[in-house]
Amino acid sequence: MAELDAGDRLLGNEIEGRRQAEAYLRQVKAFTDSLICALSGLSLEMSREGRCLDVFARTPERLGVEKEALLGQAVHGFFSADSAAILMSAIGEAEVSGYSFGQVLPIPLPLATCWFELSIVKHPGGDSGKGSFIVLFRDIHECRHAENVQPCREHEFRTLAENLPYYIVRYDRQGRKTYLNRAALSLSAHELECLIGQTPDEARIASATSAWAKEIACALQRVLQGEDAERIEIPLRAGSGGLRTHSLCFVPERAPNGAIDGALLIGCDITERKDYEQSLLARAESGQHMLDIAENLPGFVYTFRSLPEGNFSFPYVSPRIREAFGLQPGELAKDMTSFAALVPQEYQALVLAKIEDATREMSSFSCTFLMNVPRRGERWISACSMPHQEADGSVLWYGVMIDVTEQWRLEQQLELKRFALDRAHEAFYLIERGGRLVYVNEEACRALGYSRDALLRLNVSDIDPGLAPEEGTTLSSTLVCKLGTCFESRHRRRDGSTFPVEIRSSLFEWHGQAFAAALVRDISEEKRVKECIAIREREFRTLAQSLPDNILRYDCSGAVTYANIALERTLGTSAADLIGKGIRDRWSDGRYDVYAEALDSVLATGLDREIEIFVPDPRTPSDHVHQIRFVAERDETGAVTGALAIGRDISELKRIERQLLASRSQLRGLVARREEDLEGERKRIAREVHDELGQLLTGLQMKLSRLVRKQMGKVLREGEPLQEALELSEKALSVARNVASALRPAVLDMGIISALEWLAERFSVSNGIACYLRIIDTAIHLNECQAIALFRITQESLTNISRHARAGRVDITLNRSVENYLLKICDNGIGFDSATSKPGSFGLIGIQERALMLGGTVGITSSVGCGTEIAVRIPIEIEGRGEYYDKSDDSR
């Protein structure tokens, strides 16, 4: 019974212990959950298979999904395929090591896609059989954005550092850490936040002894104090307990002024290389070959076996293949299918063909091929190996593979530059200091008539005799003196002929050796054009010197560049006093301001100008009138490059012109007097015909009428003399009235408006053409001369319309402006070409002369098929100025 009681007590104690343990675990879980909920970002509990077991904090709100919809959901249900793959990979890593951090992935949120950093640990209370993981997503979107806007060099450095398999740590001037890449972080026992800002003594590399830590700190201080790069090798204890050899190199970082402002630590695990070197030394038959490869180990070492039946395998591959291609060395020991899957089909055939050729001849194998590496994209790989015949008939290859993607891209860029240079229209030469041609493009070969290989065997002095060394000098010194500048020379072709060239060159150093890059342009055509221009210039100057006209040439700034002899005589000065000066510089008193303004206008607009100015004659005290025409000079593109001023003394022509104008004025005065006399004669005759002859005929008609009335009792037959006399008297009276009206219509005495109305109505009745008169301003008061002139102009115009226009309508408009009377006669007839004149036609001339006698103008607008418009303007004159000559002047 006592034993049962003791067992019960033991069982009770055990149950109580378990309850306390469960309570403690619940407290730990509650604390963990509250801690997780307090974190920013997203937090989930997930199973090994990637299913959501629990959701923490504001995760559903940020994802825009209800919590119930997330629980039990597979990761592929709410993440993209790429993000899900990254998350599952990190869970797998945490399954092995207990934690995983540093992976980043994009997650689509309701507003935008953001980037998160993964931190995964095994759930402290999880079942070890099932396995669950706490997954924290830290929002690094803003951090990534900030990193993207960092300076380009820092971005490139970090991109390169994060993708290199080496350990990279950056220190500032005080020896504090400012940056560690992932590889370097994996060596430390501290988190990244604990390392930044720490010195090597404050946070040393994990598993490094105090002595080695001190050696690291001393090497860093030596570099920061100005010494060259320091390289040390130290042993570090790996997680499994074994020692790993690491190579650490400290390199100083310098500011633009050359001062040291920090240092870089670049390290790598060289244990495999060391071990492999030892294994290579142990194998006497092939050790030396592998040692040569191991000494140049930018990539990874491998042994490749090809069996006679065509099977292939990698008996050994250095662990770095995991970093390069994501493959495990053990997987490739028996089957290389996973490696071959990364090589495109066309490159597999290329590699196999090269292996067969090298196996057949037992020669070295070298090939560059393309691989599609996961997460890294297309990478160019260079493989080199040496064969060894094994006893079983297989061939064992010892070699190295190197990622030459960057080198391949640089080569492609270099090839592009070479291709661009070969397509250039100018010859390009790359010359070393001794004068040997290092590179030439296709244009250089074409210009000189050589092939590229033949041209590269020549020296620069072979194609350019001007660069041959002078006595007492070397070709090198001659090149230094002439190259680096722009100069002209002559090049010799393969057939011995030479041609002029313009050479633009620059000197530079590359890897401590001096070179010259020269662009050479064939200027044969340019020389020919210049010679033609010189010939044309000589011809121009010869012609200008022989012309009697004054000729000045100006550049685009208005400065004189040439003056002929005639101008020197006209101005009484030499051409040397004018060359290089502007017109205002030479004459600052303003006498030639009109000339200068016209020149400026031509240079600015390119439009020709013509002016007349007075120029003092140095031989006489009087001024002469000169007519000057400015003509713009242009280049082949049409741009104004200067101007020509061509002047001529027109004083004599002006004198003759004044005489001619005076003669015309006298002639016009005579014509006006003649017209006035003629009009007066018409008026007198019309009055006599109307008054005297009309009265006689009227009296005759009245007497005949009385005789007729006396014979009322007697029937008058047709043809009787009395009846015929009566009819003849009526006709005679009508003819007398018509003659009087034709000589001078009586309606003229009633004013111009009444006269035009009578004329329009008579024209319509006589010709059957509609004629409309429009008086815009009725306050029109013309003197007798003006009224007669406008009446006769209208009468002559209507006569021309009736004879030639074939019009159906005529419009007559009379208007008055401030200074002029305006008369317009328009018709819709067939019109005529107003630019040509018909011989023997004086109608329009008479119209113009009548208007000129009154000081007016006549405008005639007409074209074939569009009718004719005659516009007459005469000035409004005060009373008493209607005549243009003095009646008291009997000298006429």
pLDDT digit string (tens) for 586-621?
787 778 888 888 889 988 998 999 888 888 877 777
How confident is the model over 132-151, as a mean pLDDT?
Answer: 72
pLDDT of residue 887: 33
- Point out the least confidently predicted range of 8-22, 398-412, 849-863: 8-22
pLDDT for the residue 50? 84
Query: What integer is the mean pLDDT of 788-807?
Result: 86
Instruction: Name the more confident of 304 and 668.
Output: 304
CA distance 739 to 745: 9
Question: How much is the pLDDT for 149?
Answer: 57
| Residues 423 and 311: beta-carbon distance below 8 Å | no
Q: Give the pLDDT confidence score for residue 460 in this predicted structure.
A: 85
Measured in degrees and rounded to the nearest 5, phi and psi for residue 729 equal -65, -40
| Cβ atoms < 10 Å from Cβ of 537 | 11
- Over the stretch 441-497, which tens digit does the pLDDT of each residue have? 999 999 999 998 999 888 888 888 877 666 555 555 666 666 557 888 899 999 989
- Count of CB atoms within 10 A of residue 384's CB? 18
The tens digit of pLDDT for each residue in 367-421 reads 888 988 888 888 888 888 888 888 888 888 888 888 888 888 888 888 888 888 8
pLDDT of residue 883: 40
Structure confidence at residue 813 (pLDDT): 92
Locus of tokens 């050899």: 245
Region 629-649: what's the mean pLDDT? 88
Would residue 512 be called left, alpha or beta, if left means φ above 0 and alpha means ψ between -120 and 50 degrees? Answer: left
Q: Determine the average pLDDT of the residues in 513-529.
A: 87
Going by pLDDT thresholds of 50, 70 and 90, the confidence category of residue 130 is low
- Dihedral of CA 116/118/124/127: which sign? positive
Q: Which residues contact 274 (CB under 8 A, 6 or more apart)?
A: 245
Report pLDDT digits (tens) over 18-49: 777 676 666 656 655 655 555 557 788 888 88
Closest CA to 676 of 850, 795, 833: 850
pLDDT value of residue 33: 60
Determine the pLDDT at residue 827: 92
Position 880 confidence tier, pLDDT thresholds 50, 70, 90: very low
The mean predicted confidence, pLDDT, of the chain is 78
**Predicted confidence (pLDDT) per residue in 742-781, tens digit:** 666 766 677 888 888 888 888 888 888 999 999 887 778 7
Long-range contacts of 463-470 (CB under 8 A, 24+ apart): 463/491, 463/492, 464/489, 464/490, 464/491, 464/492, 465/490, 465/492, 466/490, 467/435
- pLDDT value at residue 825: 92
Long-range CB contacts for residues 623-627, cutoff 8 Å, separation at least 24: 624/649, 624/651, 625/649, 625/650, 625/651, 625/654, 626/550, 626/570, 626/650
When pLDDT is averaged across residues 532-546 and rounded to a whole number, the result is: 82
Confirm if 60 and 73 have CB atoms less than 8 A apart.
Answer: no
Q: What is the pLDDT of residues 41-71, one digit of tens each?
A: 778 888 888 888 888 767 787 777 887 878 8
pLDDT of 804 strictly over 80: yes
Supply 340's token pair.
């071959």
Q: Quick one: pLDDT at residue 291?
A: 47
Looking at residue 25, its pLDDT comes to: 61
Structure confidence at residue 838 as a pLDDT band (50, 70, 90): low
Q: Which has the closest alpha carbon to 608: 584, 580, 640?
A: 640
86 pLDDT above the threshold of 70: yes
Q: For the packed helices 721-743 and 694-710, what is the interaxial angle rounded to 10 degrees? A: 160
The 10s digit of each residue's pLDDT in 298-350 is 677 888 888 877 778 888 888 778 778 888 877 887 778 888 888 898 888 88
Distance CA 489, CA 497 (A): 14
Per the DSSP assignment, residues forming a β-bridge with 648 are 627
